[in-house]
Amino acid sequence: MPVSRRTFLGGGLAAAAVAVTGTPLLAGCASDKKNAAAANAAVKLPTYTKYGEIKPDLPGTDVVLDGFLKYPANPVKAIAEAPGDGKPITFMTNIPGAIPPAVDKNQFWQELNKRLGSELQISMASNDEYKDKFATRIAGGDLPDILNIPPDTPQIPGLVKAKCMDLTEHLSGDAISKYPFLANIPTEFWKGCVFNGAIYGVPVPRGMSRTSLALYREDLLAAKGIKDPAPKNFQEFFDLAKEMTAAKQNKWAWTRVPMSTIRMMLAIPNVWKEEGGKFTSMYEHEAQEQALEAGRKMVAAGVVNPDAFNDKASARKQWFNGGIAAFDYDSFVAWNQYYNDNSAGDAFAVNMLDVPGFDSGDGAPWMGGALNNVTAFSKDSTHSAETLLKIANWMAAPFGTEEYLFRKYGVAGRHYSLQGTDPVPTKVGTVETGIGLQYISDSTLALYWAGKPDVPQKQHAIQEKVSKRLVYDASYGLYSDTASKKQAQLAKTMTDLEGQIVQGKKPVSDWKTAVQTWKSSGGDKIRTELEQALSDTAGK
C-alpha cells in the first residue's frame, strides 16, 4: 500500500530525524533542494543482518567478496511460502545478453511463475536500447509494477517522487527484518536508494564485483611464455602490450585504450575526491595530461585494436573471447560473463592484473560503482508494497540457497547438469535463464564458477591484493541537483575529447580548455552542491 509522502513526513521521517539528529526536521524540507541532503542523511537505513547459514570456502571481508569452490550440497530452501499474490506482476528491465525465448517457449520462466505464485511479465530491452525504452515508457505514463532505474537516469528524485512508492516504513531500520534477504544487503548499498528523504527502492548491489582492472587471457599469454605477468610500472605494462600485439595476424593486445588503468597508475581520483570538505573531480587532476600522453602512446604504437573507438561492447567481448585481443579493461562480473560466453574451449582462462604505480610502487585502483540500478515500485501498482518486497526478497536469496540455485541455474537436467554438487549450465540453461531477474534485486556477488574452482580462487586473490588500496568515489550517496540533470552530458563531452586526443586528432593541451568549459557549464556547480551536501550531512 503506497504511503503518501505528506502523511509519512508527519510521522516516520520526523521521528527518524529526531532520533538521528536530535533536532526535529522541518516538515516538507525534503522537497527543498538545499535540505534534500540533510533529509536523505536523516533516513534511518535498513539494518544489515548477515544471513549466516552458508559458510564460504574463501571468506571475504567488508570489501572482498565471499568465494566458494563448490556449490553447497543439499542447498537449503530458505523461503517457505510463494511470494506472489496470484495476480500477474509486470517488470521492465534491460537484458545484458541475447533476448531469451518468450515465456511460452521458456521452461525456466514457466517454472519461475509457478514458484513465485504470480505470473511475472517482463518487458525487456537490450542494454543499448534500455535508456530509450525507459525514457519513452516514463513519458507515456505506462509504468510496470517493478521498474529498473539505471543510476544515471536524469532527475531520479523527481521521478520517484511522482511515480514510485515510498518504501521507508517497510524498510527503514529494523522493519526490514521481515525481508531477511534484503536485510542481507549491506547498508552502504541502501544509501543509493534514498531520495527526497525517503527510501524509494531496492538496490541491485555491485561495488566490489563492478571494480574493473585489466583482464587478460592467461592461455594466450602462456602460449607466448608469459606466466603471472606483473608489470611494475607503465613502461613494463606497455612492453607487455607490445609483446602481445601481432598486427600482421590481426591481433592487438588491447580491446580498448586502458585509460582508467593508466589513471589508476597516476592516482587520479575515482570520479570525485574529497579532502577536508573540498571536492576535486578526476578531470582536474594534474596528471590527466600525462595519462592522455600515455594513452596516445599506446594508440600510436598500435597495441590497441584499430576499431576500438567504435566502442561497441559486443565487439570488444568478441575480440577478447575470440583471441583477437589478449587484454580488456573490465570487472569481475565481466570476468564471469567471459567464461559464460567462452567459445575458445577448455584451455580458455582469464586472470586480472594488479595495477602498479606509473613509475614505481602501487597504483590506486578504483572501487566499482555501488549500484547496478535501483529497483522501484510504481505508485499505480495494484499490488501491495509487501508483495513486491517479498518478490524482491526472493530474488535476493544468497548463494548456497535452493532459491539462488534455481534463480541462476534453472532446473536440473534441462538447464544444468550436476557435476558433484556443481550445477554446470547447459546451452539451453544459459539462454533460458537470461531473463533479467538479477535486476529486480540480487544478493552481493559470490565468487564462484561451476566446475572451475580456480576461477573464484584467482578472483579472491586479486580482490585481497587490491582491497586495501581501493579508492572510493566521494560523491556516492550525496545528492547534487545539477549532477542529476547534467552529469551524463558533461561526462560525454569529456569522453569524446579523450577519444580524439588519444587518437592524435586533437592536442593534449585541449584538455585544460575543456576542463574550464566543464567547470563553467556545470562542473563547479556540482562541486558546490556536493560540498554543501557533505556539510549538511556531516556527523549524521
Partner 1 sequence: MLQRSKTRPQQQLSLGRRLLRDRVLLLFALPGVALIIAFHYVPLLGNMIAFKDYQPFLGINASDWSGWENFSVIFNGDPAFLRALKNTLILTSLQSIFVFPAPILLALLLNSLFSERIKRIAQSILYLPHFMSWVIVVALFQQMLGGSGLLNNYLRSHDLSTINIIGNSELFHVLLTSQIIWKDTGWATILFLAALSQIDSQLYEAASVDGASRMKQLWHVTLPGLRGIIILLFILRLGDSLTVGFEQIILQQQAVGRDISEVLDTYVYNNGVLGGAWGVAAAVGLVKGIVSVILVLTANKVAHIFGEQGVYQR
Contact set for partner 1, span 254-273 (CB under 8 A): none
From the list 89-97, 302-310, 336-344, 437-445, the region that binds partner 1 by CB under 8 A is: 302-310
Main-chain dihedrals φ then ψ at residue 411, nearest 5 degrees: -105, 135
Residue 135 binding partner 1, by CB under 8 A: yes
Kindly tell me the sign of the dihedral angle through the C-alpha atoms of 387, 389, 391, 394: negative
Residue 136 binding partner 1, by CB under 8 A: yes
Which residue lies nearer to partner 1 by CB, 245 or 270?
A: 245
**Which helix (DSSP H) or strand (DSSP E) does residue 456 occupy?**
helix 454-467
Residue 459 amino acid letter: Q
What is the C-alpha to C-alpha distance for residues 320 and 308, in angstroms, rounded to an integer? 12
Residue 132 binding partner 1, by CB under 8 A: yes
Residue 306 binding partner 1, by CB under 8 A: yes
Number of chain positions touching partner 1 (CB under 8 A): 38
From the list 45-53, 115-123, 429-437, 491-499, the region that binds partner 1 by CB under 8 A is: 491-499
Give the shortest CB-316-to-partner 1 separation in angstroms: 12
DSSP-derived letter for residue 360 is S
Which residue lies nearer to partner 1 by CB, 300 or 538?
A: 300
Residue 309 binding partner 1, by CB under 8 A: yes
Main-chain dihedrals φ then ψ at residue 9, nearest 5 degrees: -60, -35
Which residue lies nearer to partner 1 by CB, 73 or 139?
A: 139
Binding mask 155-174 for partner 1 (x = CB under 8 A): x--xx--xx-----------
Instruction: Count how many Cα atoms sit within 13 Å of the Cα of residue 298 in the half-sphere of its side chain.
Output: 34
Which residue lies nearer to partner 1 by CB, 154 or 323?
A: 154
Which residue lies nearer to partner 1 by CB, 387 or 482?
A: 482
CB 45 within 8 A of CB 57: no
Residue 305 binding partner 1, by CB under 8 A: yes
CB 241 within 8 A of CB 328: no
Residue 72 binding partner 1, by CB under 8 A: no
What is the C-alpha to C-alpha distance for residues 192 and 195, in angstroms, rounded to an integer? 8
Residue 247 binding partner 1, by CB under 8 A: yes
Q: Name which position in 248, 343, 345, 427 contacts partner 1 (CB under 8 A).
A: 248
Place of cell 534453472: 410
Residue 7 binding partner 1, by CB under 8 A: no
Binding mask 205-244 for partner 1 (x = CB under 8 A): ----------------------------------------
Q: Name which position in 25, 204, 265, 497 contacts partner 1 (CB under 8 A).
A: 497
For residue 82, give Cα distances in angstroms to 118, 179, 182.
Answer: 8, 13, 16
Residue 383 binding partner 1, by CB under 8 A: no
3-class state of residue 80 by DSSP:
coil
Beta strand 278-281 with 272-275 is antiparallel
- Cα of 232 vs its chain's centroid, Å: 29
Q: 428-432: long-range contacts at Cβ-Cβ below 8 A with a sequence spacing of 24 or more?
A: 429/108, 430/340, 431/98, 431/100, 431/101, 432/100, 432/101, 432/106, 432/107, 432/108, 432/109
Q: Which residues bind partner 1 (CB under 8 A)?
A: 131-132, 135-136, 138-139, 141, 153-155, 158-159, 162-163, 247-248, 250, 252, 305-307, 309-312, 324, 485-486, 488-489, 492-493, 496-497, 499-500, 503, 505
